[in-house]
Amino acid sequence: MSDSQGEDPVDPLTRLAIKHGTDKWGAHFYTPLYHSLFLPLRNRAIRLLEIGVGGSEFQTIGGASLAMWAEYFPYGLFTGIDIAEKRLTLDPRIKLFRGSQDDPIFLKNVCAERGPFDVIIDDGSHTPKHVVASFNLLFPSLLDGGLYVIEDMQTAFWPLSGGSMIHGGEIMKLARTIIECLNHAEIAVVDRSPSLPAFAHQIKSFRAFHNVLYQSSH
């Protein structure tokens, strides 16, 4: 099957999402976007980390999106992390770890064993403070040209999730910081010691889509 959509309105990744039953299509509509972003990587031996395996606290439910990624990237290596224990039968190129997405020691160990990563997708708790913690800990570990995706960032505006209707809370602060990082050289013209994170020089691009934030690394 060709990667070109041609007259077929359903792209290959969306077809795989339907096949494996992941909510990255249906409940959401991320897969057409991801197909356009990830197509150049499809036949490479990438390493992909996904935060959040799915299935809530149920041990034998989840892994649908990891199964989708494994079929989409036939030469890739895949890692899933979840705070709940998971007992799933998945492609042998997939390995699961149990731990919190804001635990620096846990994430460091995962990166040491399975990284460095070409793609990181945060589909975890969607709690703003967790999203920001994961980004600060994991973005610096991306390979050059790596991609970092934050899903379901609408929670930035939901008070019950720790967001804010007024200013978007911690996730919108993170977005502002990323934009400042993109312009670190110009900021330095007027501020010789800007309070930017250590990874400021790694930020190559920042894009926002409906409920998705996307960053790439040098």
Residue 80: CATH number of its domain: 3.40.50.150
Q: How many distinct structural domains can be found in the chain?
A: 1
Q: pTM here?
A: 0.93
pLDDT at 3 over 60: no
pLDDT at 193 over 80: no
Average pLDDT, integer, range 31-60 = 96
In-domain check, residue 15: no
Per-residue pLDDT band for 99 (boundaries 50, 70, 90) equals very high
In-domain check, residue 30: no
In-domain check, residue 206: yes
How far apart CA 160 and CA 27 sit, in angstroms, is 20
pLDDT at 119 over 80: yes
How far apart CA 154 and CA 176 sit, in angstroms, is 16
pLDDT at 195: 85
pLDDT at 5: 47
Instruction: Give yes or no for a contact between 136 and 179, defined as CB atoms under 8 angstroms apart.
Output: no
- What's the domain range around 55? 40-217
Active-site residues, by number, are 126
From residue 43, alpha-carbon distances to 40, 65, 76, 99, 157 in Å are 8, 18, 8, 30, 37
In-domain check, residue 3: no
pLDDT at 2: 47
pLDDT at 1: 45
In-domain check, residue 35: no
pLDDT at 125: 96
In-domain check, residue 26: no
173-178: long-range contacts (C-beta < 8 A, 24 or more apart)? 173/132, 174/131, 174/132, 174/135, 175/206, 175/208, 175/213, 178/203, 178/206, 178/215
Per-residue pLDDT band for 6 (boundaries 50, 70, 90) equals low
In-domain check, residue 180: yes
From residue 157, alpha-carbon distances to 125, 128, 164, 195 in Å are 15, 9, 5, 25
In-domain check, residue 57: yes
Per-residue pLDDT band for 153 (boundaries 50, 70, 90) equals very high
Share of the chain above pLDDT 70, in %: 95
